[in-house]
Structure 1
Amino acid sequence: MIKKWVVVPATLMVATSILAACSGGAQSTAEKHVLRIGVLYGGADNEPYFRSQYTDTYEMMNPEIDFEIVSAIDYSDMRYQTPDENGNIDQPDPYAKMKDMLTGDNPVDVVVLDYNMLRRLVQDNLLKQLDPLISQSKFDLTDYVPTVIDGIKSAGDNNIYALTPTFSSSALYYNKKLFEEAGVEPPTDNMTWKDIMDKARLVSKGEGVDRKYGMTFSRWNGGDFNSDIQTYSSALQLKMWDDKGEKMLVNTPQWENVWNTVSSLYRDDVVPDQEDINKINEELNKESADGNYVYNPTQGDLFAGGKVAMTISDYNYVNELSNTMNNASKIKDFEAFDWDVVTYPTHEEAPGIGGAIYFSQLMGINNNAQNSEDAWKFIQFTNSKEWAEMKSRSTYELVARKEYLKPKNGMNYNINAFTALKPIPPQSVDTEKLYREKPGIWEAQNASYDLFQKVIKGDITAKEALAEWETKGNAVLEKLKKEPAKTDSSKAAEGGTDGASTMPVEVETTEVPAG
């Protein structure tokens, strides 16, 4: 009882201070009125989470406000839809649905969107420019993370049409101990992929299951074409096919360089392939001398297990590494190690552009809003310093206010590594439309998986593999001209997202397709 009594007033104090900061402390006596918030994907199951994260506190402190959460596309409508004979379900046009929600008979006031949709909404004059409101309200953005504001402005012709209280970002984690043992200087901020790969080669040591590998492109995958190529090349924005989805674009020097670069790391045992990972896991799973099974919580995560010197991961990995190191004494044959983070590797062709910075909870005001005044007050509330202080406890996303961007739980790591780079420019909404109209287009990628493995093994060159992929991919695209809806639904599902905004859930960030 005592603990609850302490916690609740503290929460109320934060909520009260937020309200005071945003409203000047005035108590409203206005009649009850509605503020409608629109999200693209949602449903009854998701609404309670959204309310708990964004509206409950505001509604409690502003009893005259009633929130309505509106979904342009209901998850249930898709979940319970009967697939057609090809295994496909009807895919509504996300942008058209969003536009209907903004321009219909009862338009929403606030819209929650992700970065890929922001530019199109701005171009179609569907969002209110926030710069005048920011100036009139003297809403202080001086301590906003520059990459967040710059990224938002880049999608709005150097103007602000939305704000986000949080964002997601990834960085390069490295094992200080392995670099010290190898006598190699550890990585630093603003290094290119070439710099990082050179260090990865130098720090790779040992044989068999005892080998220490230089790097992995993610914590889990080994030799996975889609993941590794995407991670390495995302900032280059290479295309697999043209904008109409009628011609493959992979047989180019740029693609050849990407394939040669990534495949050589596997061939030289700088990056472990799936076979290497399986052998390491088998060793970890060996029975103890008395025949009892020994559980190892680092299984599958080679970096946390001390087998890899560098890896790419998101901000949430900070917590997992901290927990692992704090419990090292409980893990058989495991020694804790010091680690740190530096900026995501960049390409010389795209300086300063990171590969994994995402704004998924941008909030803008509908140009057709019926209650734009309260909409702006709410956006100020969710983007205030006080709100950032409360949200800084999040384990999944970073807050956009620099003042509250600090290492967690007294730890000492380079948190600026997550904020120093600019996001990749938004994906074209026309590209998203192509994925929707031709869901089978992902079959044009299928040939690449086996071909990439052949390049790793040295059976064929990257140039030969890309030429073969071009031929096989073009055959798929030609077929799709006649039957655009036919697809192997399981492969289509692997292709990625259409970049549309969803009701918030605390998960790791989703990759944007390279094609």
Structure 2
Amino acid sequence: MTTRITQVRKWTTAAMAVTILVPTLAACSGKNEEDPNNRRTLRVGVMYGSAQEEQYLRQQFTDLFEFSHNNIDIEIVPAIDYTENQFEEQKPDQPQPDPIEKVKAIMTGANPVDVMILQDTAMLGNLVQENLLKQLDPLLKEDKIDVNDYVPAVIEGIKEQGDNQLYALAPTYTPSALFYNKKAFAKAGVDVPTAPLTWDDLFNLARRLKTGEGKDAKFGFTFNQWGYSNGYYDVQNYMAPLQLKMYDAKAEKMTVNTPQWEKVWTTITQLYKDHVFPSNEDLQVQMSEEDQNRYNPYIQQPFFNGKVAMVIGNYNMINDIETYNKNYQKFKGMEQLDWDVLPVPTFAEAPGVSNYIYLSSLATINAKAQNPDDAWEFVKFMNGKEWGKLRSRSSYEMPTLKEFVKVKDGMSYNIDAFTSIKPMYNSNSYAEQKLEQERPNLRYISQLAEIQYNKVIQGQKTVKEALAEFETKGNDLLQKIKLNPKGEMQGVFDDVYGGGGGGGVVRPLD
């Protein structure tokens, strides 16, 4: 539900911009003056929606196309109408709608959608495997559209979902980058790297940038803008490109007690224990009574208050920095940020791929489309230059057309850092989602993982001991989940764990 609300907010912001810019588009390009008697309906499927939300969906995806194609009517078809179950009492064993099955239903039913807009690259790969999508390469070639006009990392990321063929296009994407403080590098006497970093490179760099102790301590790196950390979440996000699994494909046997898992847990744990990464306690700011009464939204953000030298931030963080640098003098003790960006680090085992790059609004054509010509016209328009120019004004997403990828007016930074890394491809993602759908109690395995990891970071167990216990308790729990995939089993979980609780916020001990 949180993801959907966040997406709706983005849609609303874009909708306001589109509403203002429609007259401009009309003046520049005019309408597609076809025979008004030759009216057609184009059915556009979306993942989630409702009658109340349709206005936002139209403003986000279809209004400009419908405005410029006066003989085509758009019908929005949500795969999941979230209002249908909005007011039902939620129960642990209540089956949740399967997104992929819902999407397939509106693509293969008696009146299939012509276009399907996806917010999930894993779903794109699954639909390709089941031959439910129309390949776009021949259409691009016929209309002489050069895919080299798009950000290569985006095109490559999409192609990986379709056996090196294009089955979707996306007008925008959400990249991230490694933001760094130039003053922190200069004060530590460390040169800024000129080449893309591996994670090991970054961690070594972060150690060199760690200076001072106590209230004067400066830290090398945080995984997010706010600095506060749940170490287990950080580990999961960091290790995602390695595609290490907690259990096998049948969810019957744990697969965590391995050298690869040990290396990941050991690496991140040691960086927290050495205070190269700040703990939550490290970042607690003691403010005077006067400062407590003074509004300062940046005092708890370590990259802005100078406590951290490097941070992973998404494209929108540029807006935050711009606002900060225009207003920093209003906040006691704050300094102007002298900053730039590098590409997000990647693993040597998975170079150039990151879990911090997100593709959404993937426009596809249904292989069973009743109106395939208009479907292609829509996908082409949605990813074309007119629409791309308008979408390039977004402060939250980056356009995929290279000609609109530009440094924000009045600023200077390495824009290429946002375009050089491609999104992660997980060929097993849908199978894993399907298994979790069938056995929702598998969530207890993740809870067990967090408990075990926190034992490590709090100094209660070594990594080897924690992973061995995770394997033993996890195997026991998997068998119980197999027998009871959906029913209430908190008590069973407590029994397997040994009556303890756990999880929560990471608090590293010296």
TM-score range, shorter chain: 0.7 to 0.9
Q: Would you say how many aligned residue pairs link Structure 1 and Structure 2?
A: 472
Q: Partner amino acid for 2:50?
A: G
CA distance in 2, matches of 1:463, 1:480: 25
Tell me the secondary structure at the aligned position of residue 73 of structure 1.
strand
Match of 2:78 among 38, 51, 71: 71
Greater relative CO (CA pairs within 8 A, separation 6+): 1
Change (3 A) 1:367 1:10: closer
**1:320-339 CA deviation, whole Å, 9 max, x = no partner?**
11111111011111111211
Worse overlay, 259-268 or 296-305: 296-305
Q: Is the 8 A contact 2:33 2:70 kept in 1?
A: no
Change (3 A) 1:208 1:450: farther
The alpha-carbon deviation at position 222 of structure 1 amounts to 3.4
Change (3 A) 1:90 1:123: same
Tell me the secondary structure at the aligned position of residue 62 of structure 2.
helix
Change (3 A) 1:457 1:82: closer
Q: Is the 8 A contact 1:444 1:472 kept in 2?
A: no
Instruction: Kindly indicate whether residue 101 of structure 2 is the aligned counterpart of residue 104 of structure 1.
Output: no
Q: Is the 8 A contact 1:444 1:474 kept in 2?
A: no
Change (3 A) 1:89 1:193: same
Tell me the secondary structure at the aligned position of residue 468 of structure 1.
helix
Structure 1: give runs of 5+ residues left out of the alignment.
1-6, 493-515
Match of 2:237 among 231, 234, 241: 231
Q: Partner amino acid for 1:147?
A: A
Q: Is the 8 A contact 1:30 1:64 kept in 2?
A: yes
Alignment of structure 1 residues 314-393 onto 2, 5 Å? 314-393=314-393
Change (3 A) 1:421 1:328: same
The alpha-carbon deviation at position 486 of structure 1 amounts to 2.7
The alpha-carbon deviation at position 17 of structure 1 amounts to 4.2
Change (3 A) 1:256 1:34: same
Instruction: Kindly indicate whether residue 64 of structure 2 is the aligned counterpart of residue 57 of structure 1.
Output: yes
1:288 match: 290
Change (3 A) 1:316 1:17: same
Tell me the secondary structure at the aligned position of residue 218 of structure 2.
coil
CA distance in 2, matches of 1:200, 1:174: 11
Q: Partner amino acid for 2:39?
A: K
The alpha-carbon deviation at position 46 of structure 1 amounts to 2.5
CA distance in 1, matches of 2:253, 2:472: 10
The alpha-carbon deviation at position 479 of structure 1 amounts to 1.2
The alpha-carbon deviation at position 221 of structure 1 amounts to 4.8
Match of 1:201 among 180, 186, 207: 207
Change (3 A) 1:379 1:231: same
Alignment of structure 1 residues 126-275 onto 2, 5 Å? 126-275=132-281
CA distance in 2, matches of 1:304, 1:255: 33
Match of 1:43 among 37, 43, 50: 50
Q: Is the 8 A contact 1:443 1:487 kept in 2?
A: no
The alpha-carbon deviation at position 9 of structure 1 amounts to 8.8
The alpha-carbon deviation at position 26 of structure 1 amounts to 4.9
Structure 2: give runs of 5+ residues left out of the alignment.
1-17, 494-510
CA distance in 2, matches of 1:9, 1:80: 35
The alpha-carbon deviation at position 421 of structure 1 amounts to 1.4
CA distance in 2, matches of 1:370, 1:455: 57
Tell me the secondary structure at the aligned position of residue 69 of structure 1.
strand
The alpha-carbon deviation at position 345 of structure 1 amounts to 0.6
Q: Partner amino acid for 1:287?
A: E
Q: Is the 8 A contact 1:72 1:97 kept in 2?
A: yes
Tell me the secondary structure at the aligned position of residue 120 of structure 1.
helix
**1:141-172 CA deviation, whole Å, 9 max, x = no partner?**
32100011111111111111111111111111
The alpha-carbon deviation at position 434 of structure 1 amounts to 1.0
The alpha-carbon deviation at position 29 of structure 1 amounts to 3.2
CA distance in 1, matches of 2:362, 2:98: 20
CA distance in 2, matches of 1:343, 1:273: 25
The alpha-carbon deviation at position 453 of structure 1 amounts to 3.0
CA distance in 1, matches of 2:301, 2:480: 41
**1:154-206 CA deviation, whole Å, 9 max, x = no partner?**
11111111111111111111111111111111244411111111110111111
**1:428-465 CA deviation, whole Å, 9 max, x = no partner?**
21111011111111111223334323323443211111
CA distance in 2, matches of 1:30, 1:471: 70
CA distance in 1, matches of 2:274, 2:90: 45
1:92 match: 97
Identity %: 47
Structure 2-normalised TM-score? 0.88
The alpha-carbon deviation at position 123 of structure 1 amounts to 1.2
**1:329-375 CA deviation, whole Å, 9 max, x = no partner?**
11111111211111111111111212212211111111111111111
Q: Is the 8 A contact 2:49 2:80 kept in 1?
A: yes
